[in-house]
Structure 1
Amino acid sequence: MYIFSGDFAFLEIWYVSSSIPNMLVNILSESKTITFSGCFLQFYFFFSLGTTECFFLSVMAYDRYLAICRPLHYPSIMTAKFCMILFCVCCVSGFLCYPVPIVLISQLPFCGPNIIDQIVCDPGTLLALACVPAPSTELICYTFNSMTIFGLFLSILGSYTLVLRAVLRVPSGTGRTKAFSTCTSHLMVVSLFYGSLMVMFVSPTSRNPAEMQKIVTLVYSAVPLLLNLFIYGLRNKDMKDALKKVLRL
């Protein structure tokens, strides 16, 4: 669990670094500009890292399934080496997903006004800036986002369905509580992350008000990192004891 938590924290740092520093610079500076290549680089890294997180959350759900449903086989299956292999597979899969949408969108003509009414360069905003309608490109992006998000979400749902079946068979209430406690942190992160993603990318972007898009983007790009510090950190006994000492002071 700690190996996966460390990997997830590593991903979160890079994920937030791809958008928040540029957003803060734009807030503090009078010239709120970004180059064409810079916009598409941010697009690629922000969404590739976000997709990698989606894959990794699915892997973490599989880890919880093994820990609860196959506890005797867990140490031999989920070795440190296998954990790193899964992490690398998630990274490669995430970064291979977005070259096609980026190439399709970058080929569209942009004749102005080139004002991005969003905190990051995302597909919906860039498609809205195109001089000509591109329904086929929009449909490809919408279908791709929907298949990726729902496919990985269903894999997480499948893992937790098996976990729930196993937990309900545990005769003691203490055992059920302990089993559920191992899944609480991950479920909270999944609910927050996937909830905002589905609102933003599964529903057609043209139907979402601009201000709502900004709020939702901020939720799935920055808020999870802040909350994950508490969600995962407060599960550690040493962290709880240190926090109690600080609060007493």
Structure 2
Amino acid sequence: MAPRHAPAEPFFLDTARGARFCLYHAPSGPCRGALLYIHPFAEEMNRARRMAAVQARAFAAHGVAVLLLDLHGCGDSGGDFADASWAGWLADIEDGRAWLERRSGQRAGLWGLRLGALLALEAASTAAPARLLLWQPVTDGDSHLKQFLRLRVAADMLQGTSEGSVAALRTQLAAGTTLEIAGYGLAPALADGMAAALPGRLAGTGARGRPAAAAGGGQDRRRLARARRRAAPAGGGRPRVLVDAGDDRSPGAGQRQP
């Protein structure tokens, strides 16, 4: 029988940018560690909710405190997705990490899924976490953005109102236009951060641990390997890095976020 533990504690974390919805899974018995979960992008977040909750309960049952955090404009957190920015999401992560460390008494690690893994790497480049757990990491933020923009191109083609190509949508973003894509408003401040996110630029973590055999084939494996070689300690010691590659699937066709 699996270990029993207390139900998750829901609450809103007050930040300078608004309230962020959180679920805290307290550890069963003595606390052995702490993890902050950073969810994927757009509809992938919704599709991964149950999996993240199941895994968080499993971690908690083995003595690891887990905080599931909804970033700005996502899930039940305050703000509109159309107003979200890459920098704002990083600030949310820092606020969540600080709260978790105060509550658990442990130096927190970062657990990122898909685009959340790139956010975790960038957060780790400024303040090294206890560990990095990267699930099916996106290895190129610009390619991930391109896949998302293609949803808009495909939807426009089906409706006979095509405005052109991904390049045309990028031009609109560069001009300051917020795009409506699959029920989500994508602002230039978020798109620019995604496009610039690459492990080789972000990973100042002194990474060690399981080889980074990333999803998507040899090119992605080499990209993460280069990031590991270039990494330098960011303070507080070298985190243990675990990468679960899985399958590098494109974002799901967009239902609206509930």
- Tell me if TM exceeds 0.5: no
Where relative contact order (Cα < 8 A, 6+ residues apart) is larger, the structure is: 1
From the two aligned structures, give the one with the greater strand fraction. 2
Task: With the length of structure 1 as denominator, give the TM-score of the two structures.
Answer: 0.28
Larger Rg computed on CA atoms:
1
